[in-house]
A and B are shown apart, each in its own frame.
Chain A
């Protein structure tokens, strides 16, 4: 794997985070979060911001039912 690739932090409608090569077209259903950098920079950022790993739809349902 080429190691010098730039990535961006992306998330989908379920607010699940992932990374994506900065120079590739973004797959449908994903949006850029704003962070860009090396793989480890992006993953470190996700480690901080993705605090609830439940999909957003499930979070909403669970908070609605309690």
Chain B
């Protein structure tokens, strides 16, 4: 044997491991051997060292040389006995009882595998038994050479970042009955028990949604395929993906048979290791026993896996036990797997979808994290506003830029409204951005009536429909300027006296309605969500304390008062004696309000408002913002990153909640610091008095990490949809977790619960869309389009931040401009499709449903063919900004900004970004005047006619200042 170190190329698998995770060599394999019999410890030590001398792998270290990963073989055994350090191998020999010694081994998992420990045990027995070992065993460096010839591949890639390794282990032995059934089933269908376990593992992962994407990686040993490798010591076992998917509708028996067949075809492949997070399966080599003269050697534990698997299941056939090695908590997963396995062996012909997958511990934990804190009943909002006025009569209550009222002034006026309407009535309030609107809403609530806010920018026919549907007895018009025409009695709020006789409000009960808010309906017409005072009070109490609204300062409302998004900064402050500032829904309004603010400000915004404000707010103004509550739509990390850079001290809350359960049902406070780009921001954990259960399609709790539909129970639940009992019954279901006849709201939102309890929003179960923070049911838009005599069939699809309507017909007959005008007459601005395309037919999927993806793809392909792409540097710059702001892939340089989904907020954002990137002033008006990439780029390059800009600017600025909702598209 050589007496100097020698270097050999590492095996392809070792190289793949090294390339996938920089710390692969630090992962330790372990083994435990029990030696029973009259054996001297010294004999064990020297026998073990003799084994190290026989096998090059056990004397190897992996290191990089000239960009190549090599195994450096040391000439002598390098073993640290006891606690010693520095050896390649660490070994410890303990005497528990006379005649029983335990040899515990540790070494890098990258130089060994479980089968190697079997050879080590056998050879140890041979040594101790005085048998002569066959000379010249097969060496790992020979194996490596052979593999390297087969897998030359790229010789080296730089090691990837360090990987996380699974460190948590849990072991369970199967119930003897389950084990017996398992063996019987395997016998009946002619497969191995390990295939049943592997099938259960696959089924569990599919049920638990942990996503066995790319297949479970099954340990496969080169030795099984080449007799010449018998006795090889070294890493010759690799984890190979099992190329089948679990069909949840199939049976356990079918899956087990498929698994057995697929596993039978697996061949080791050593060229690739995924960097992080795979799922593995292997079969334990333990326990195994060999005899050596009068001694017995048992290998009781052997575990060697150098791959960065997030979860690895090990099956021990001889003891019918399963061991789970996991990155995080292993016990609950293992328990769930056993629940599934136990059910599966009882009903091998049931669909996997129906098998339970949650154990006792998991179930207890899921219930714990599903419930928000329990709080005593809260005072109702009207009582709280009255109490605040009593306590702080002179504090500013409402400010809309024109009017500024103290709490006592607000309440005096609200009393006049209350005195003018019937208790328990339903009253419509035209939601102008005005202090009088607040008076109307508060007055209605004081009287025990429910208010129905109607956006003042709605088309007249739409507003009339809502008024008719809600059965309002009276319409409160806050001040002049509303364009509504109605036959209902009207009260002009600003014309009521400012004060008058003492009004004694009736007693209000938590079950009484506070407001009814309309939201898009999938049945083709909007639905009115009836919110109770009890539900509202629960949210108000939560929001006041969570969002720092308690105490002096202002809260700014910058969204339409017709949606519940505004309530966080409109009604919550009034409940706790803080002022609310109403600004027209434009970012400039927020900037101005903040400039006027003394003290802290709280904002409630949608993600796109947040983005926009981050672009335009001066740093010193942004510093006044203490808290920002973000709601209405999925929040992107990029927006948070931008805000943090601008105002690092502001607290940011991601709030989630459908209108049906009062504004917000869960919240996530984004931790200080800059979040990692690309990370998803959770929607958080339930607010007080609220439960959030993630259920599968059968109404069972979904396991941790599995996707499921969010069901919201607790105090916030609405009474239902106004005059729509069927619709109500379909969405408000019996709450099986609460008992007492309670209901829960079925959201239609797909979420999953992280192992830390935080919920992540994934998407919708149906077609509902979010456009600029608004909920839109394409079916409602389609129903309106179909009302037009020229339209028989149509489909509405989202494209960026706008809708595209596809009308079936012939372009010569179908006047799409007429249909567009019809839509604009009946739908709120954000629901009016930005484009109308006439198509010969609508593609359908195999099961007869509209294939929206295919429809959009067809459209995209047609569009792409006629699009003129940017040609100059400036056109590319402008086009890049447009695509970012409009969230689209490409833009035709002749397309007009407002016709491809842009609105006035986006114009402001695009202008701000262009200004930054082009390095010259870009007023928003310039985008109105030069509405295409071509013309805007020409202007920015100095080719435009300055005079035209000046002439157009005044008109354009006037339009930009108008509230968003007021602006109508001319198709």
Contacts and interface: CB of A to CB of B under 8 A. Distances in A.
Interface of A: 1-2, 9-10, 12-14, 16-21, 24-30, 39, 42-44, 46-47, 50-51, 53-55, 57-58, 61-62
B699 A27 contact: no
Interface in B508-543: 509, 511-512, 530
Interface in B546-576: none
B736 interface: yes
A1 B734 CA distance: 18
| Top 10 A-B pairs, shortest CB-CB distance | A29-B741, A12-B741, A47-B726, A28-B739, A50-B725, A27-B736, A43-B726, A27-B734, A58-B511, A46-B729
19 contacts: A12-B734, A12-B741, A13-B741, A14-B741, A16-B720, A16-B743, A17-B729, A18-B734, A18-B743, A19-B730, A24-B736, A26-B734, A27-B736, A30-B734, A43-B727, A47-B726, A53-B530, A53-B725, A54-B511
Contacts of B728: 17, 50, 53
A9 B729 CA distance: 9
A26 B743 CA distance: 13
Given A28-B739, A43-B726, A47-B725, A53 B511 contact: no
A8 B556 CA distance: 47
Interface in B712-741: 719-720, 722-723, 725-730, 732-736, 739-741
A64 to B, nearest CB: 12
Interface of B: 424, 509, 511-512, 530, 697-699, 719-720, 722-723, 725-730, 732-736, 739-743, 765
A39 B770 CA distance: 27
B699 A30 contact: no
A18 B733 contact: yes
Contact of B729 (A27, A29, A43, A54): A43
Contacts of B729: 9, 17-19, 42-43, 46, 50
Contacts of B530: 53
A10 B723 CA distance: 19
B726 A46 contact: yes
Contact of A61 (B509, B719, B741): B509
Nearest to A21: B699
Which of A25, A42, A46, A51 has the most chain B CB atoms inside 10 A of its CB? A46
B739 A46 contact: no
A14 B576 CA distance: 32
Contacts of A9: 729
Contact of B734 (A10, A39, A61): A10
A17 B725 contact: yes
B732 A29 contact: no
B740 A29 contact: yes
Contacts of A14: 741
A29 B686 CA distance: 24
Identify which of B698, B720, B728, B741 gathers the most chain A CB atoms within 10 Å of its CB: B741
A63 B313 CA distance: 64
Given A21-B699, A29-B740, A30-B741, A53 B734 contact: no
Contacts of A17: 725, 728-729
A24 B765 CA distance: 22
A9 B735 CA distance: 14
Given A17-B725, A19-B733, A24-B699, A54 B719 contact: yes
A2 B697 CA distance: 8
A1 B719 contact: no
Nearest to A18: B729
Contacts of A42: 729
B511 A27 contact: no
B781 to A, nearest CB: 23
Nearest to A49: B725
B384 to A, nearest CB: 21
Given A2-B697, A27-B734, 15 more contacts: A2-B698, A10-B734, A16-B720, A16-B741, A16-B743, A18-B729, A27-B735, A42-B729, A43-B727, A46-B726, A50-B728, A53-B719, A53-B725, A55-B719, A57-B511
B730 A55 contact: no
B925 to A, nearest CB: 50
B861 to A, nearest CB: 32
Contacts of A39: 730
Contacts of A58: 509, 511-512
A14 B424 CA distance: 19
B370 to A, nearest CB: 15
B691 to A, nearest CB: 13
Nearest to B511: A58
Question: Which residue of B719, B723, B725, B740 has the most chain A CB atoms within 10 A of its CB atom?
Answer: B725
A28 B725 contact: no
Contacts of B734: 10, 12, 18, 20, 26-27, 29-30
A59 to B, nearest CB: 10
Contacts of B733: 18-20
A17 B736 CA distance: 15
B745 to A, nearest CB: 11
The listed residue with most A CB atoms (<10 A of its CB), out of B697, B723, B728, B734, is B734
Given A19-B733, A53-B720, A44 B726 contact: yes
Contacts of B735: 27
B664 to A, nearest CB: 24
Given A53-B725, A62-B424, A28 B730 contact: no
Contact of B725 (A1, A27, A46): A46
A25 B424 CA distance: 37
Contacts of B736: 24-25, 27
B633 to A, nearest CB: 25
B515 to A, nearest CB: 15
Contacts of A47: 725-726
Nearest to A43: B726
Nearest to B513: A54
A28 B722 CA distance: 26
Contacts of A28: 739-741
Nearest to A15: B741
Contact of B730 (A30, A43, A53): A43
A24 B698 CA distance: 9
Contacts of A51: 725
Nearest to A10: B734
A18 B719 CA distance: 12
Contacts of A55: 511, 719
A14 to B, nearest CB: 7
B424 to A, nearest CB: 7
Nearest to B732: A18
B509 to A, nearest CB: 7
Contacts of A57: 511
A63 to B, nearest CB: 12
A1 B720 CA distance: 22
B244 to A, nearest CB: 24
Nearest to A19: B729
A28 B698 CA distance: 18
Contacts of A43: 726-727, 729-730
Nearest to A50: B725
Contacts of B698: 2, 21
Nearest to A52: B725
A9 B733 CA distance: 11
A38 B729 CA distance: 14
Contacts of B726: 43-44, 46-47
